[in-house]
C-alpha cells in the first residue's frame, strides 16, 4: 500500500502499540515507594476511624443499658365528652 492511501487498521495497531509502550515505560520510571506509603497511610487512617467509631458505639450502648427503663405512662381511659347539639336542632325522641 502507498502512503497516499493509509490502512486504518494498521494505523490503529501502531497507535495502540505506541500507547502501550509509552504506558509501560512511564510505569517503570514512576517511583512506587510513594504509592505504597500512601496506601499504607490510607489503610491506617481507615483503621483508626473504624476503631473510633466502635468505641463511640460501645460507649453509647453501655450508657443506654445502664439507665433504668422509664415506666410507661399510665394512660387513663377518658370517656368521650358529650357535646350538646347545636342550637336549633332538636334531639331525636
List the grid coordinates of 61. Answer: 450502648
pLDDT of residue 25: 87
Is the separation of the CB atoms in 1 and 7 below 8 Å?
yes
pLDDT digits (tens, 9 = 90+) for 46-91: 999 999 999 998 988 888 877 666 666 665 556 566 666 667 656 5
Q: Where are the domains of the chain?
A: 1-30, 32-68
The pLDDT confidence band at residue 42, using thresholds 50, 70 and 90, is very high
Percent of the chain with pLDDT over 70: 68
pLDDT, position 70: 62
Amino acid at each position: 500500500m502507498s502512503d497516499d492511501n493509509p490502512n486504518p487498521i494498521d494505523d490503529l495497531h501502531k497507535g495502540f502499540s505506541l500507547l502501550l509502550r509509552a504506558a509501560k515505560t512511564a510505569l517503570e520510571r514512576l517511583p512506587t515507594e510513594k504509592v505504597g506509603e500512601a496506601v499504607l497511610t490510607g489503610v491506617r487512617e481507615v483503621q483508626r476511624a473504624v476503631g473510633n467509631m466502635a468505641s463511640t458505639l460501645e460507649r453509647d450502648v453501655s450508657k443506654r443499658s445502664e439507665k433504668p427503663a422509664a415506666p410507661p405512662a399510665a394512660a387513663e381511659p377518658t370517656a368521650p365528652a358529650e357535646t350538646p347539639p347545636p342550637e336549633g336542632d332538636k334531639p331525636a325522641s
